[in-house]
C-alpha cells in the first residue's frame, strides 16, 4: 500500500467515526499519555482498529487517537507514538502527522521523555526544544515526495516555530513555570546511548537526547504546520551519574513531573496556540 493511500484511508476511517474537526495536534510521549484522559467529550480510535495502521509496542503508550475539546480548543492527541527502533521506517512512523494535517490541524505539540545532557537541567524539569540534531541515520522525507504536503527540499530553519517559542517562554515566565530551553538530539535506539556518545552529543551542542520526535517535527514542517516541542528530562544521560538507565525510571520520573506538564499545557492552549 502506498503512503498516500494509507494516509487517505486513515483520514476516511477517522471521519467515518466522528465529524469532529481538530485544530491542534498533540503527540504524548512516555509517562505523559494520561493527559489524553482529560480531553472532554472524547472519541477514542485505537490504532489497531485502523486498517494498515502501525501499532505502538512500547510500555506506557496506550496506542490510540483521542479527539475532543480542552479549554475550548479542538484537539486530536496521539496517546502513544511509534519509534524507529520498533522497526518502522521514518515516513511510516511519522505518517500520523500527515493524517492530522489532512484532518485540519495547523499547530502541533510534540512531547517526549529525554535524557539530560546539559547538567544544569534538573531531572524532572521541562525543556522547550529550540532545535534538533538528527543522528538517527535516516530522514522521513527520503523516497518519493508527497507534493500535496510540501516541496521536495523543505527549509528547516524554523522547524520549532520561533513565534510560538517566544510566546511560550513569556507565558511560562508569567505563570511561574520553570522552563529550560535547549537542543534535542535523536539517536535511533533502542539501546541507551554510551558515555562516549553523550560526550559527543554535548560537543555537538545537544542539551538532551532521545529516540523520537525528530521525524514527526520534520514531517510537520514539510506540511507547513507550526510546531512546539517539549521534553521532560527524565534522567541524566549515560556517564553523568554512576547508575544504570531503565525505562521504568523514565516513566516514573515523567509521571512525577506530570503536574508541571499539565500546567505548561494550560499555558500552551490558552496563550500560545
Mean pLDDT of 73-97: 94
Q: What is the CATH number of the domain that holds 268?
A: 3.40.50.1580
Q: Where is pLDDT greater, at 263 or 30?
A: 263
**DSSP SS3 for 187:** coil
Q: What percent of the chain has pLDDT over 90?
A: 78
Supply 36's cell numbers. 489524553
pLDDT grade for 23, boundaries at 50, 70 and 90: very high
**DSSP SS3 for 43:** strand
List 26, 36, 78, 83, catalytic entry: 83
pLDDT grade for 257, boundaries at 50, 70 and 90: confident
Mean pLDDT of 239-252: 66
The total number of structural domains in the chain stands at: 1
Q: By residue range, what is the domain housing residue 211?
A: 3-272
**Cα dihedral 201, 206, 211, 216 sign:** negative
Residues 6 or more apart whose CB falls under 8 angstroms from that of 147 comprise none
List 36, 100, 113, 238, catalytic entry: 113
191 has catalytic annotation: no
Q: What is the pLDDT of residue 35?
A: 87
Q: Helix axis angle, 214-222 relative to 95-103, nearest 10°?
A: 40
pLDDT grade for 244, boundaries at 50, 70 and 90: low
132 has catalytic annotation: no
Mean pLDDT of 37-41: 92
Reference 184, options 231, 226, 234; nearest CA is 231
212 has catalytic annotation: yes
List 94, 212, 231, 234, catalytic entry: 212
Q: Hey, how many other C-beta atoms are within 10 angstroms of the C-beta on 259? A: 9
113 has catalytic annotation: yes
**Cα dihedral 7, 10, 15, 21 sign:** negative
Range from 7-11, 58-62, 193-197, 228-232 carrying the lowest mean pLDDT: 58-62
pLDDT digits (tens, 9 = 90+) for 213-240: 999 999 999 999 999 999 999 887 665 6
Is the Cβ–Cβ distance between 234 and 250 less than 8 Å? yes
List 26, 36, 47, 61, catalytic entry: 61
Q: What is the pLDDT of residue 239?
A: 57
Residue ranges of alpha helices (H) inside 45-161 are 90-93, 95-103
142 has catalytic annotation: no
Q: What is the pLDDT of residue 249?
A: 67
211 has catalytic annotation: yes
148 has catalytic annotation: no
List 208, 235, 236, 237, catalytic entry: 235
List 23, 69, 86, 181, catalytic entry: 86
Q: What is the pLDDT of residue 236?
A: 75
CA distance linking residue 188 with residue 138, whole number of Å: 9
φ/ψ of 22, rounded to 5, equals -75, 155
CA distance linking residue 112 with residue 98, whole number of Å: 19
CA distance linking residue 88 with residue 9, whole number of Å: 19
List 26, 211, 238, 257, catalytic entry: 211
List 23, 34, 69, 85, catalytic entry: 85
Over 60: is that where the pLDDT of 60 sits? no
235 has catalytic annotation: yes
Q: What is the pLDDT of residue 242?
A: 61
Over 70: is that where the pLDDT of 80 sits? yes
Mean pLDDT of 2-17: 95
Amino acid at each position: 500500500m502506498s503512503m498516500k493511500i494509507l494516509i487517505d484511508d486513515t483520514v476516511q476511517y477517522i471521519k467515518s467515526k466522528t465529524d469532529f474537526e481538530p485544530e491542534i495536534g498533540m503527540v504524548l510521549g512516555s509517562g505523559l499519555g494520561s493527559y489524553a484522559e482529560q480531553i472532554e467529550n472524547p472519541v477514542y480510535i485505537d490504532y489497531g482498529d485502523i486498517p494498515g495502521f502501525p501499532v505502538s509496542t512500547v510500555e506506557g503508550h496506550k496506542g490510540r487517537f483521542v479527539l475532543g475539546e480542552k479549554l475550548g480548543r479542538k484537539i486530536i492527541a496521539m496517546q502513544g507514538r511509534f519509534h524507529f527502533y520498533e522497526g518502522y521506517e521514518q515516513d511510516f512512523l511519522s505518517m500520523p502527522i500527515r493524517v492530522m494535517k489532512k484532518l485540519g490541524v495547523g499547530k502541533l505539540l510534540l512531547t517526549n521523555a529525554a535524557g539530560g545532557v546539559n547538567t544544569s537541567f534538573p531531572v524532572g524539569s521541562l525543556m522547550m526544544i529550540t532545535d534538533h540534531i538528527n543522528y538517527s541515520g535516516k530522514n522521513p522525507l527520503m523516497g518519493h515526495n508527497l507534493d500535496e504536503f510540501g516541496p521536495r527540499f523543505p527549509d528547516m530553519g524554523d522547524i520549532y516555530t520561533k513565534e510560538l517559542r517566544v510566546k511560550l517562554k513569556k507565558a511560562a515566565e508569567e505563570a511561574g513555570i520553570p522552563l529550560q530551553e535547549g537542543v534535542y538530539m535523536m539517536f535511533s535506539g533502542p539501546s541507551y546511548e554510551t558515555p562516549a556518545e553523550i560526550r559527543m552529543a554535548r560537543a555537538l551542542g545537544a542539551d538532551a537526547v532521545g529516540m523520537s520526535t525528530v521525524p514527526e517535527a520534520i514531517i510537520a514542517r514539510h506540511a507547513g504546520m507550526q510546531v512546539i516541542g517539549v521534553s521532560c528530562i527524565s534522567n541524566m544521560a549515560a556517564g553523568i551519574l554512576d547508575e544504570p538507565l531503565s525505562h521504568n525510571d523514565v516513566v516514573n520520573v515523567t509521571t512525577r513531573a506530570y503536574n508541571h506538564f499539565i500546567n505548561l499545557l494550560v499555558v500552551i492552549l490558552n496563550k500560545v496556540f
